[in-house]
Amino acid sequence: MKVTTFTFMGAPSTGKSTLCEALASKFSTLYMPEYGKIYWQKYQKDRRLTMEQLEEIAEGHHQLEDEMTQQAKKYLFVDTNAITTYMFAIDYFGEASPRLTELARQAESRYDYYFLCDTDIPYVASWERSGEQHRKWFQEVTIEDLKQRKINYTVVSGDLKTRVSFISSFISELKGSLL
């Protein structure tokens, strides 16, 4: 059975992880956690990673996502992707390596639907985040990057209940259009 993949983009603290987990629960399937965050928490040095480590994140994300797609039931909700990792390279180094650029290019067509989580929810500070002002900047450059890549995306706004309801309606409409 074909698994429909939904990827969620957006700056840190825009609710991607919480939304993916809630949707997976609602639809009795899996969600792909933010692999970069898991990796970063384990390997970062002074809150930074090397370009090679960012490449490892993008490659590891693709690999784990492929495995989870085989296990998912009907839908897979994906928390970020290699484009986000590419954006972190731009943030950290002002550029991305050729390998990371290629992995981000591959991510352009890996998903059935792209969603951008809005910054309309309160910012939650944590030791791994760079602040609310940085969140605004990261959101702006993410939107610009999606536009440059000509990726169609839908903005998801509101509290968690509103976001889950919106995506649920989106999925219902998809099912209806496939009948």
pLDDT digits (tens, 9 = 90+) for 34-65: 888 888 778 778 778 899 999 999 999 999 99
The token duo for 168 is 């649920």
Evaluate if residue 127 carries a pLDDT over 70.
Answer: no
* pLDDT score of 178: 54
- Nearest Cα neighbor of 23 from 70, 71, 69, 77 is 77
Domain limits at 99?
Answer: 4-178
* pLDDT score of 179: 39
Average pLDDT over residues 118-146: 80
The whole-chain average pLDDT of the chain stands at: 90
How large a percentage of the chain has pLDDT more than 90? 73
Q: Is 87 helix (H, G, I), strand (E, B) or coil?
A: helix
Number of domains in the chain: 1
CA distance 107 to 110: 5
Burial pattern 61-89, b for ≥16 Cβ within 10 A else e, equals: bbeebeebbeebeebbbbbbbbbbbbbbb
pLDDT digits (tens, 9 = 90+) for 7-21: 999 998 899 999 999
- Nearest Cα neighbor of 36 from 77, 88, 76 is 88
Which CATH number fits the domain that encloses residue 162? 3.40.50.300
Evaluate if residue 131 carries a pLDDT over 70.
Answer: no
Average pLDDT over residues 140-149: 96
* pLDDT score of 36: 83
